């Protein structure tokens, strides 16, 4: 075993995380679910979603059989909603193509919807004892700092170098402990901001610490100004209910329910009629800004006293009460707008 692996494993036995809800299991469904939820998301945020998800859909077969709207509702607020759509598609693929059992070969796992190389390797390591490296964000940070790897890890040349390094460092024994130790060290000690280098088991061999470059590695993605977008959303209210409509499967908030949008203020009457209602009093509410990874969105809500026209509403439209919106598959900023709107409804 290399000195790198030995230091990590020794540290993990005493300081690593051992009681997360997805640990101490070889069930591919639970490991896979946690890996997908943890992408771009902190552990503390994931835990309640993970537990709630499993309480409702305890097996892969349950997930595959569930309506996609239910899956999106369970995911609502966790963000990066393509993960939820891919999760549902993957469960169905495993049921249809693999008889309900995850394939054991990492290459076959990686062919499933929404599963990349690192996630496939993690499932294969923790569930099937495979000898594979992983390369999530935490591992990339540990390797870049310890071995002084320059360049943004998202570029192909740097990522190739990190995969080579991660593979070269794999120990022959205690692989599961080693892989978990890498992730835990990056998540709890070798963090992006305020790393606790004095407590790190790799401090004596870390090139970034030696060269006083901890803050500089890994190199950040080159910054660019976020594009600005804005849209007007309609809060049509009637008898204590608000109109929501299902969004297309592709695009922003794909598959979720949201507020109808308006292209221009001059088309308000036509748009409301298209939604199967007639408009009464209109009131502008304060705008809400929501920042995505690639752009900043300003939502400008118009609250409208509406009167539904019988027989005109289209498929995919739902008039919901405040209580009903709590279990609906809503994006987080839309849920926030609804909470404010319902509190203002007479």
Domain boundaries, the chain: 3-216, 228-344
What does the pLDDT read at residue 263?
A: 82
DSSP-derived pairing of the beta strands 317-320 and 241-246:
antiparallel
Taking domain 228-344, whether its CATH number is 3.90.79.10 is answered by yes
Domain 228-344 in the same topology as domain 3-216: no
φ, ψ of residue 270 to 5 degrees: the values are: -65, -40
Burial bucket for residue 59 (CB in 10 Å: 0-12, 13-18, 19+): middle
SS3 assignment for 286-298: CCEEEECCCCEEE
Contact 299, 288 (CB under 8 A): yes
The structure tokens listed for 221 are 């993605």
CB atoms within 10 A of CB 57: 22
The structure tokens listed for 196 are 């606790």
CA atoms of 49 and 212, how far apart (whole Å): 39
CA atoms of 40 and 74, how far apart (whole Å): 18
Q: Which of 35, 51, 199, 228 is catalytic?
A: 35
Q: Give exposure, 222-251, as e/b (b: 16+ Cβ within 10 Å).
A: eeeeeeeeeebbbbbbbeebbbbbbbeeee
* Average pLDDT of adjacent 10-residue blocks, the chain of 346 residues: 90 94 94 95 94 97 95 90 94 96 96 96 96 95 97 95 96 93 96 95 96 95 87 91 88 89 84 84 90 90 85 73 89 89 64
Report in angstroms the alpha-carbon separations of 101 from 27, 90, 95, 297, 328: 10, 12, 7, 41, 30
What does the pLDDT read at residue 307?
A: 83
Contact 275, 315 (CB under 8 A): no
What does the pLDDT read at residue 79?
A: 86
Task: Decide: helix, strand or coil at residue 199.
Answer: helix
With CA atoms as reference, report the closest residue to 170 among 346, 2, 340.
2
- The CA R_g of the chain, rounded to the nearest whole Å, is 24
Task: Decide: helix, strand or coil at residue 236.
Answer: strand
Q: Which fold has domain 3-216?
A: Endonuclease III; domain 1 (1.10.340)
Enclosing H/E stretch for 262: strand 261-262
In the annotation, is 35 catalytic?
A: yes
SS3 assignment for 211-224: CCCHHHCCCCCCCC
């Amino acid at each position: 075993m290399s000195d790198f692996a030995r230091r990590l494993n020794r540290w993990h036995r005493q300081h690593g995380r051992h009681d997360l809800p997805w640990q101490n299991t070889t069930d591919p469904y639970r490991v896979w679910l946690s890996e997908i939820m943890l992408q771009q998301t902190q552990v503390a945020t994931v835990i309640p979603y993970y537990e709630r998800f499993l309480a409702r859909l305890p097996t892969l077969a349950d997930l595959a059989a569930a309506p996609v709207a239910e899956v999106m509702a369970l995911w609502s607020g966790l963000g990066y909603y393509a993960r939820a759509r891919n999760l549902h598609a993957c469960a169905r693929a495993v049921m249809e193509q693999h008889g309900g059992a995850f394939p054991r070969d990492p290459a076959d796992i990686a062919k499933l919807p929404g599963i990349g190389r690192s996630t496939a390797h993690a499932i294969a390591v923790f569930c099937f004892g495979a000898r594979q490296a992983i390369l999530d964000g935490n591992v990339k940070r540990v390797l870049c700092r310890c071995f002084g790897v320059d360049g943004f890890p998202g570029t192909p040349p740097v990522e190739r170098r990190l995969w080579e390094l991660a593979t070269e460092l794999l120990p022959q024994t205690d692989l599961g402990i080693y892989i978990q130790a890498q992730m835990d060290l990056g998540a709890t000690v070798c963090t992006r901001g305020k790393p606790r280098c004095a407590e790190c088991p790799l401090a004596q061999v870390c090139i970034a610490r030696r060269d006083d470059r901890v803050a500089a590695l890994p190199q950040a993605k080159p910054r660019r100004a976020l594009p600005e977008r804005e849209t007007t959303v309609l809060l049509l209210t009637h008898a204590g209910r608000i109109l929501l409509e299902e969004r297309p499967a592709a695009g922003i908030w794909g598959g979720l329910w949201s507020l109808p949008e308006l292209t221009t203020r001059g088309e308000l009457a036509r748009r409301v009629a298209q939604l199967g209602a007639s408009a009464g009093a209109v009131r502008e509410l304060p705008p809400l800004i929501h920042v995505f990874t690639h752009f900043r969105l300003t939502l400008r809500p118009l609250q409208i006293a509406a009167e539904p026209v019988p027989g005109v509403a289209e498929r995919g439209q739902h008039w919901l009460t405040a209580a009903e919106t709590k279990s609906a598959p809503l994006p987080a900023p839309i849920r926030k707008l609804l909470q404010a709107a319902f509190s203002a409804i007479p």
